Amino acid sequence: MIYCVVPEALAPELLDKLTAYYADDPNVKVIVDRRSASRRGRDSDTSAAQREQRERRDRRRSRVPGEFPKIDAGA
């Protein structure tokens, strides 16, 4: 499914036109973006003390201790 997202401010002039244009394509759905705030803004609910206590971790897998055996390139 492909979503054609129309900003809410442009919906009055574009929504009907785009819906008609993609009417024959069942893989496209035209929708209006009605979000009022960014999801990234949700962090404002946490206090400064809580943000300082957060621990940032390295998500990569730790390496296995030791070394790889030598490989004979001539084989």
The percent of residues above 70 in pLDDT, for the chain, comes to 73
Mean pLDDT of 45-58: 68
Give the span between the Cα atoms of 60 and 69, in whole angstroms.
Answer: 23
Task: Compute how many other C-beta atoms are within 10 angstroms of the C-beta atom of residue 30.
Answer: 20
pTM for the full model?
0.49
> Is the pLDDT confidence value at 59 over 60?
yes
pLDDT of residue 1: 92
Mean pLDDT on 42-66: 69
Helix (H) or strand (E) holding 12: helix 11-21
Q: Please report, for the chain, the start and end positions of each structural domain, with discontinuous segments joined by +.
A: 1-34
